[in-house]
Amino acid sequence: MTAVLCRHFGLRHIEIAEDIASETFLKASEHWAINGVPENPTAWLYTVAKNKTKDYFRNLSVFETKIKNEPVINIQNEHDFECSPEFISDSQLAMIFAVCNPVNSNDSQISLALQILCGFSVEEIANAFLTKTETIKKRLQRARTNLRNDNFEISRLNVTEIKSRLETVLKTLYLLFNEGYFSKTNDKQIRIGLCSEATRLALVLTENPLTNTVKVNALLALMCFQSSRLEARTNDKNEAVLFDEQDKNLWDKSLIERGNYYLVNATNGNEISKYHLEAGIAYWHTTPTDENKWQHILQLYNQLILMEYSPITALNRTFAFAKVYGNQTAIGEAEKINLVDSNYYHELLGYLYSDTHNEKAIFHYETAIHLTKSKTEKQTLKKEIQRLKGTF
């Protein structure tokens, strides 16, 4: 809604569109509670938002003419307000490219896009960047100020601008998908809506010749492969199901096939990106019959670590290392990473110790429970601790 309002009415201040969107949903919560949900909720919401925007311009016009004695401000594009799925989708994509403005740093661009277009809280953005919430608050404030000073608007970008901003757009969609795939701040470990939204926007990129690059196809392949296993990652009690215990009959074969299609498209060039490597890793995860798949996965992780190191990638690589060389050998690899403040680090060590040293495994699982904010994850870890205690 924020994107549509900015694009249709030419709003240069994102905050105004955000306020109007918030007021619209507040009115919906009040009106629908009494009168029920309308037959077409989307159209209802956008009609209210349109009228509130027109009211804003009229009030502003009165202020400008009667108080400041300045010329009347004409309402832009008052007629033919469109809220079709296509226009909404195009507006979101246009807004992402507009927000990913080089007037801000790459991290600030991504943070702003995640907040404005993806609805991320400050805490969720901080988790995505593995940083403090106060740092993100300051980053967002500076980024918004810079956009205002640069006369922000959603306009048609030229080829050079699209190419220069595409990398940041891809990182935004990547983080959006990751928060859906494994939420760190929500009661639900999996937020399918976020995964679907990120995949849909990536698909839109493949439909435009200017953005249909090998990187985009690699990212979309990754999303398809990962999405194919969503249903198998939780049980009917909303508990997490570990990869080794997943019912492979629940994997979506059509999404795996689509992932294969986009991965093949991603090879139509000489470029190899982190998205290529991660898509390759996800591909091998969906190939349960190959006895050498963990060797392939480990080799891809080795390349990924050299290309773009991150603590989470290092932990994931250690899990693959354990599959190839055994848990005992992998413990030393994990301890080298030494992420003592990370619940993922302790979860991994708990898993690695669970075959040989129950007390240490329980200690690390209990530490992970203390560190994680996910209720679903806490439940899964408590269940594993109970299983280990039952073997004493």
Distance between CA atoms of 181 and 190, rounded to whole angstroms?
Answer: 5
Residue 82 pLDDT > 90: no
Global pTM value: 0.81
Count of beta carbons in the 10 Å neighbourhood of residue 391 = 7
How many separate helices (H) and strands (E) can be counted in the chain?
A: 18, 0
Distance between CA atoms of 78 and 53, rounded to whole angstroms?
Answer: 10
In the chain, where are the structural domains located? 1-83
- The model's confidence at residue 63, banded by pLDDT at 50, 70 and 90, is low
**Each residue's pLDDT tens digit, 152-169:** 877 777 888 888 999 999
The per-residue pLDDT for 370 is 95
The mean pLDDT value for 226-247 works out to 84
The per-residue pLDDT for 391 is 62
Residue 69 pLDDT > 70: no
The per-residue pLDDT for 291 is 79
Is the distance from CB of 121 to CB of 184 less than 8 angstroms? no
The C-alpha torsion from 79 through 83 and 86 to 92, rounded to 10°, is 100
DSSP string over 73-130:
PPPTT-SS----HHHHHHHHHHHHHHHS-TTS-HHHHHHHHHHHTT---HHHHHHHHT
Count of beta carbons in the 10 Å neighbourhood of residue 85 = 9
Residue carrying structure tokens 């007037």: 103
Least confident of 57-71, 119-133, 151-165, 296-310: 57-71
Give the bridge partners for 234, in sequence order.
240
Distance between CA atoms of 332 and 323, rounded to whole angstroms?
Answer: 14
Least confident of 249-263, 283-297, 319-333: 283-297
The per-residue pLDDT for 186 is 58
Residue 234 pLDDT > 70: yes
Q: What share of the chain is helix, strand, coil (3-state, %, to 5)?
A: 70, 0, 30
Residue 353 pLDDT > 70: yes
The per-residue pLDDT for 127 is 82
**Each residue's pLDDT tens digit, 357-384:** 999 999 999 999 999 888 888 888 998 9
Q: Identify the H or E element spanning 254.
A: helix 253-265
Is the distance from CB of 187 to CB of 376 less than 8 angstroms? yes
Residue type, 139: R
Residue type, 305: I
Is the distance from CB of 247 to CB of 387 less than 8 angstroms? no
| 3-state SS class at 240 | strand
Residue 72 pLDDT > 50: no
Give the bridge partners for 240, in sequence order.
234
Could you tell me how many residues make up the chain? 392
Q: Which two tokens stand for residue 343?
A: 């619940």
